[in-house]
Amino acid sequence: MALHIAIDNKAPVAKTVLMPGDPLRAKYIAEHYLENAEMYSSIRNMYGFTGTYKGKLISVQGSGMGMPSMGIYSWELYNDFDVDNIIRIGTAGSFSENIKIGDVVVGLAASTDSNYQHVYQLPGQLSPSCSYDILVRMQEASRETGIGFTAGNIISGDLFYELGDEWWRKWASVNVLAVEMEAAALYMNAAYMKKNALAVLTITDHFVTGERASNEDREHGENDMMELALETAIKL
């Protein structure tokens, strides 16, 4: 049984889970988007809630920061609670002049500088990717809501504070669009367990221009991302 997620009451964990890194964003989604939301876990203040969105049972669970934390929580959701679909919702820094602050980016694949894949004892390098089924549903949701996104390769980094700027320029040179810290672990766990995963991200920092999102940009962009994820979730 899971050690980091425990059902505190009778609220179930839904088959589809939205996963922000920040547990307070999970709380925000539960309070502002879900009907009849109930907290099912609060261990370590990593909140999990289940409620309905347009009649569909949806859960939202904080993942914490970084691949080790995402690895733990997504593993337990897939393995111990039989979750089928996880949509990561988070923030990222853009490497592309064509992707601006507030834009939404979907990770088709998640490159990484982490050694997370060593757990699978593979004889080569795994290239973890999103699940096509969720991507198709998100394309449908995008057309219906008018919330656009850019899809491509992203990088899940182990470090938040890197020294120098050549590291991101090298990733940008092979058309990696943005950096975050969790998607690769999620995609690897999903692949291993034959489950579905997709990361959808709001750009809040720009490595090319040096811009950072204002509070207004963050609120608008993150609301777009959350709405797009929810509209995708009800199609699964």
How far is Cα 225 from Cα 204, in angstroms, rounded to an integer?
A: 12
CA distance 49 to 42: 9
Angle at 205 between CA 204 and CA 209, to 5 degrees: 135
Does the annotation mark 205 as catalytic?
Answer: yes
Count other C-beta atoms under 10 Å from residue 217's C-beta: 17
> What is the C-alpha radius of gyration for the chain, rounded to an integer number of angstroms?
17
H or E, element range at 134: helix 132-145
Q: What angle do CA 174, 179, 185 make, to 5 degrees?
A: 100
Cβ-Cβ contacts under 8 Å for 136 (sequence gap 6 or more): none
SS3 159: coil
CA 167 to chain centroid, in Å, comes to: 23
d(CA 20, CA 27): 10
Residue type, 191: A
User: Which residue among 22, 133, 205, 217 is the active-site one?
Assistant: 205
CB count within 10 Å of CB 157 equals 22
Helix (H, G, I), strand (E, B) or coil at 180: strand
Catalytic positions: 205
